[in-house]
Amino acid sequence: MAWTYVLIAGLIEIIWVFSMKLSDGFTNLVPSVVTVVAIVISFYFVSKSMEALPVGTAYAVFTGIGTVGAVVIEFIMTPDMMNVGKVFFLLLLVTGIIGLKFTDKDEQETASEVTN
């Protein structure tokens, strides 16, 4: 369940990143409110994940999901910004996120025991 919390937190991070951009420095009310609410919700879920996962791993995966999601959406919205270098390093980031999840068997067992 801890990894599900990290995933939810990371996906909600994507929402608040884009709503923050749309808030235009918190001068537009609706995107500003969406930003604050989404930040609170995403931090709630990442903090729940940290009950079972190491802080560094949970935070790195959380921010990695948000970063990858934001970049992918930006690529979709403005395809001319995409280039081989950005795609390569994005894939490298995804590899790192996956690696963090699967490298420590003891960590996975502890997370499973705490959430069950």
Q: Is 54 left (phi over 0), alpha (psi -120 to 50) or beta?
A: beta
Measured between its terminal Cα atoms, the distance across the chain in Å is 8
Model pLDDT, residue 38:
98
pLDDT band of residue 105 (cuts 50, 70, 90) is low
Locate the DSSP E strands across 5-54.
none
Answer whether residue 112 shows pLDDT above 70: no
Asked whether the predicted pLDDT for residue 115 surpasses 60, the reply is: no
Q: Report residue 95 as tokens.
A: 């590899």
Given the structure tokens 């937190």, which residue do they identify? 9
- pLDDT at position 108: 53
Statement: residue 32 has pLDDT above 90: yes
Give me the pLDDT at residue 111, please: 52
Give pLDDT, residue 113: 59
User: From CA 109, how far away is CA 106, in angstroms rounded?
Assistant: 5
Task: Provide the 8-state DSSP code for 79.
Answer: G
- Tally of structural domains, the chain: 1
Least confident of 31-40, 64-73, 94-103: 94-103
Query: Does the pLDDT of residue 10 top 80, yes or no?
Result: yes
Residue of 54, 59, 55, 62 whose CA lies nearest to 17: 62
Place of tokens 């801890």: 2
Question: What pLDDT was estimated at residue 116?
Answer: 54
Domain boundaries, position 103: 2-115
Give the separation between CA 94 and CA 15, rounded to whole angstroms. Answer: 19
| Whether 53 contacts 45, CB under 8 Å | no
The predicted pLDDT at position 79 comes to 86
